[in-house]
Structure 1
């Protein structure tokens, strides 16, 4: 691979505030999701969905900062099969955006564990909407969505890791920030399973070009997507995060 680019993606989980004390020079790009732009001023791209409230957007952008909206990230995610297969929640969307646009060597997630405790704050700013847990045709298995993204990234020459400890629904390897530079993946990918999964995706053809998959949700079979989920889950060895 050519240039070794490291990207940090910051979500809104309570531990995302750890980034305030980090040396961001470790990363070539910092992408923040939704309200996570409030975590640190040292970010480059703010990515948010079409229904993100305008009043929650920053009023001033520094010269190196820009926003990424569906106009940019929908075509990027379509390069990897679209939202139904990728999982329509912003941690996955940000991951695929980074893969498509920046083609990095490493993507690190912080504050994207997508695990919510009942009696504790869900987000760094208090209580928020646990979007990944909603009943959605594209989110039948967060583990399968994670494995899919991890595998497609690895096949592009990119490692994905989480810098957040604790319980998770983002199934990528968890490491310390100190280990990013020397990280080497240890999981094994079953190429026959990957081929089977991609073949089934092509056969089902659950592709919606404009990204508004929910307008056609009645055309998608949940049972067939659950079958697809299991193939993606089985496509990684037991050494993979589960």
Structure 2
């Protein structure tokens, strides 16, 4: 039997972008665990089809999520779009027995409907755009989950590739350009992320604004 030294295990854990644990529980069990853990936590909970996934984001995950969020916020500012940021707010649909805490969630087209209020998905529409960073394997089919919640646009980033999905007839279809930000290719996000790593975030944000103003 080969034993892995404890120092190697610790080093591996530090290098992981996320830690994930999956449990088989019913809806009531999920609600109990969520209430027990409370709201002030770093872990994100996702529940679908009897599986509860508890994901703790680490540095690589948080960095990607934060920068994608800044990218979106700069686009909304430059395009003069109002926005309500939800971040990892819990999106529970008891009737469907699904729940999620995405990395980023935004009301843009429907922002006037939820401005200045606490969102209740029983009466309010879902966010217009949801972003999930999944660098490691997840046991939950998030495309089906967010389609059932009714999120019109879903971005998934695996640490290298961004996939954009648009809800069409109740199912997601992959598209090459965001319906919310037409004219902004995915390559612009890749360039922004690369610039952040190579030139620093402040300069990367300046460069992104310059690019947008040249295009529009």
Sort the TM-score into its range (normalised by shorter chain): 0.3 to 0.5
RCO comparison, higher one (Cα < 8 Å, 6+): 1
Pick the structure with more strand per residue.
Answer: 2
Per the normalisation by structure 1, the TM-score is: 0.31
Q: Which has the larger radius of gyration?
A: 2
Per the normalisation by structure 2, the TM-score is: 0.33
